[in-house]
Amino acid sequence: MFRKIFNLKNTALSIKLRLFLPIAIIIVIIIVVITTWFISNSISTFNKHLEQTLELEVLTISRMFERENILKLDKVKSNLKLVDKLFNLNDFRIDNTTFEIEAENQITGLKNIILLRKWYLNNSELYNNNSFVDSMQLLVGGTVTIFQKTDSGFVRMTTNINKSDGSRAVGTYIPHNSPVAQAVNAGESYIGRAYILDDWYITAYKPFFFNGELQGMIYVGYKEKDIEELKKIISELTIGKSGYPFVFDKNGLILIHPEIEGSTLNEFDFWENIKNKQKGIFQYIYNKQLKTLAFIYFEPFELYIAASIINEIENKDFIRSAIAGTSIVSLIAAIALLALIYYFTSKRLFRYVNRLQASNKRIESISEALEESEERFQKLFDSTGDDIFVTDEDENIVEVNHAACKTLGYEKKELLKMKITEIKTPKYRENVAANRKIIYETSSHTFESEHVRKDGTVIPVEFLSRVVSYKHEKLILSVVRNLTQRKEIERKILSTIILTEERERERFAKDMHDGLGPLLSTIKLYVNELKSMHISLEEREDLIKTSNEIIDEAVNATRTISNNLMPRIINTYGLLKAVDDFCQKINKTNKLSISFETENIIERLNHDIELILFRVISELINNTIKHAKAEKVIILLVRFDTKVALYYKDDGIGFNKDEIMNSEHKGMGLKNIISRVKSINGAYQIISSQGHGFSIKIEFNI
């Protein structure tokens, strides 16, 4: 009986084995093939991703170089206009006497004796007198030079360009056969690249005429590429675990590299794959290791930008984990599947297959529902009007919505490779760590910041941030609102308040200070002049007549203030006429000489802006008369496209800027000026110190 039962079990087992073995062999072969294909495809995809990362890295660095080059070219154009205008406002003359110097040709290095005429600026000899060029460098940045034309070329009379030994390049000259000299000799300006002494610069040269003859030229420029600055930026970049960017010139000299800086690529076999090509990507063997290199040629700097990685280091962990993970999953799947097939042979296998099909349908239905839910969430996420950023604990951007990409001008894949600090302005970048600390400590935080778009424009924004948990990781979700419109409204409100205060009775004291004060100061100058015993009767009568006219104008100004009206001359003739008329009255006293110049101011400005500028200029003149003990004032009003710049300078005793601005009882006039500048969303720069006069530069958009 027991033997019979045993035989029946063996028979059933034999049938299961015969059914199971062919299926098992087929399943194992299929899993091995699929596993091998999956691992190979994953490695190939990973390597392509590495190549794309390298190409994107060198392209990003080249665009950074390109943007820097364009900004410098625009800057030298505008700064040359300002330096030329300020130079011509000074007292310049040429003496008939000459002197000899040993001049050096900046191209050949040869020296020869050159005869120079004596030039004077504000009664000081200009040769090797660096006061003017250094003050211009402080104002506009970059380097500034004044050249004198000679038979040999254009000689540097004064400059802040240094030679290789650190001394100023005074006495060096540009020969007449250079492109710069040829353009200037033809009476034309030269804008572009120029080789100066031992480096390339982004330059602007303008011919300098005196008494109708070409006497020299004025130069403004910046170094085209600052290797040390580029090295500082590039050295902070890393690619993966083994990669890094580096820079070399068209002759193969390696300028920036973490290991072999100063060597040449001529000794490497792959130099032929790079030389005379614009860009590319290839693989090569270095120190018995396979490396991938991507490069691009940046023509304006004549430099190659490259990046390389060691393939084995980058994909070793990935290959190991891919093989191990896939093999384990495949082995478990094969064992489980074989066990199930063996157990559910015949009817049970059939029933199981039916149930499995039903289960697959339910899984498919659940997956479709999940996909629909994710799709709805993604649509809601991307359709939100505000920008949304999700960042991890290392400040990496891990998710953004469509609105953020549109606002900043980046593709989503570009933002996901960046840190949140990379889209901040320098002013707010240093606050990121502190704000994130507050968010993690309090779970939420609201604060203002500034973002930089891909094209370089700055956007004021407001952050509403909170901590969210995802896969055991604490992330920060930030809703970012563009404050540009709100800031503009606030600016308009502030401007309206200030302009309203101009028209209200409680602001009469301030208006009398701005409008009536300068007139009374002028009358005082005339009265003091009348005390002089050295003026003729005719001059005395003229001073009395002019004083009476100013008194009448003061009376009219008082009446205007009382009736809450604007200055009549601005309403009738505009800002330029009002300022010029006011300056002429001051000049008649012979106690203060005011030079007022304008450039590109063809049409009248906005009425409110004209009023504020008139108040600012009159207050500056009033401060100079009362406090500066100055003899000369220069006022320059220039328009650049959509901007207007006001430059004011006196040669008075100067003051300690920090002491005045931090005092509660001093500098009310200067603080009033700053308040007016801010009301039109303007920017200002004040330069002053004891014994060195006072100057202010004001810029605003129109």
Asked whether the beta carbons of 212 and 77 are under 8 A apart, the reply is: no
Query: Taking 70 as the threshold, does the pLDDT of residue 273 lie above it?
Result: yes
Poorest-pLDDT segment among 6-10, 28-32, 75-79, 490-494: 6-10
Poorest-pLDDT segment among 155-164, 202-211, 217-226, 345-354: 345-354
Query: pLDDT tens-digit profile of 428-462?
Result: 988 899 999 999 999 889 998 999 999 999 989 89
What domains, with CATH codes, occur in the chain?
90-223 (3.30.450.40), 384-482 (3.30.450.20), 491-701 (3.30.565.10)
- How large is the average pLDDT for residues 327-341? 72
Asked whether the beta carbons of 448 and 483 are under 8 A apart, the reply is: yes
Which residue in 151, 595, 685, 148 sits closest to 159, CA to CA? 148
Query: Taking 50 as the threshold, does the pLDDT of residue 3 lie above it?
Result: no
- How large is the average pLDDT for residues 523-531? 73
Query: Taking 80 as the threshold, does the pLDDT of residue 348 lie above it?
Result: no
Distance between alpha carbon 108 and the CA centroid of its chain, in Å?
37
Mean pLDDT, the chain, as a whole number? Answer: 81
For residue 600, what is the DSSP state? Answer: S
How many other CB atoms sit within 10 Å of the CB of residue 468? 12
Which residue in 152, 208, 217, 225 sits closest to 180, CA to CA? 217
The pTM of the full predicted model, rounded to 2 decimals, is: 0.39
Query: Taking 80 as the threshold, does the pLDDT of residue 476 lie above it?
Result: yes
Please report which confidence band the pLDDT of residue 501 belongs to, taking 50, 70 and 90 as the band edges.
low
- How large is the average pLDDT for residues 12-40? 69
Phi/psi at 699 (nearest 5 deg)? -130, 145
Question: What is the 3-class SS of 483-541, one letter each residue?
Answer: CHHHHHHHHHHHHHHHHHHHHCHHHHHHHHHHHHHHHHHHHHHHHHHHCCCCCCHHHHH
Please report which confidence band the pLDDT of residue 509 belongs to, taking 50, 70 and 90 as the band edges.
low
Provide the residue count of the chain.
Answer: 702
Contacts of 425 (CB under 8 A, 6+ apart): 450, 451, 452, 458
Between 63 and 325, the more confident residue is 63
- How large is the average pLDDT for residues 255-261? 80
Residue 254 CA to residue 244 CA, distance in Å, equals 14
* Sequential DSSP letters for 123-155: TEE-TT--HHHHHHHHHH-SEEEEEEE-SSEEE
Residue 688's H or E segment, with its range, is strand 683-688
Phi/psi at 280 (nearest 5 deg)? 170, 175
Phi/psi at 224 (nearest 5 deg)? -65, -45
Asked whether the beta carbons of 577 and 587 are under 8 A apart, the reply is: no
- How large is the average pLDDT for residues 275-285? 82
Query: pLDDT tens-digit profile of 605-642?
Result: 888 888 889 989 988 998 898 888 999 999 999 998 88
Greatest CA separation found in the chain? Answer: 156
- Residue that has been written with the tokens 């005395």 in this structure: 540
At residue 115, the 3 state secondary structure works out as strand
At residue 597, the 3 state secondary structure works out as strand
Query: pLDDT tens-digit profile of 382-429?
Result: 677 788 999 999 999 989 988 889 889 999 899 999 999 999 998 898
- Residue that has been written with the tokens 């003496």 in this structure: 95
Q: 283's torsion region: left (phi>0), alpha (psi -120 to 50) or beta?
A: beta
Q: What is the pLDDT of residue 418?
A: 92
Between the alpha carbon of residue 335 and those of residues 134, 324, 339, 356, 592, the distances in Å are 82, 16, 6, 17, 101
Residue 248's H or E segment, with its range, is strand 244-249
- Degrees, nearest 5: CA angle 227-222-58: 40
Between 492 and 297, the more confident residue is 297
Query: pLDDT tens-digit profile of 103-120?
Result: 999 888 899 999 999 999
At residue 179, the 3 state secondary structure works out as helix
Residue 264 CA to residue 581 CA, distance in Å, equals 67
Residue 298 CA to residue 305 CA, distance in Å, equals 7
Contacts of 198 (CB under 8 A, 6+ apart): 163, 164
Residue 624 CA to residue 695 CA, distance in Å, equals 11
In the structure encoding, which two tokens stand for residue 252, read together? 């193969």
Asked whether the beta carbons of 396 and 378 are under 8 A apart, the reply is: no
Residue 299's H or E segment, with its range, is none
Residue 579 CA to residue 614 CA, distance in Å, equals 7
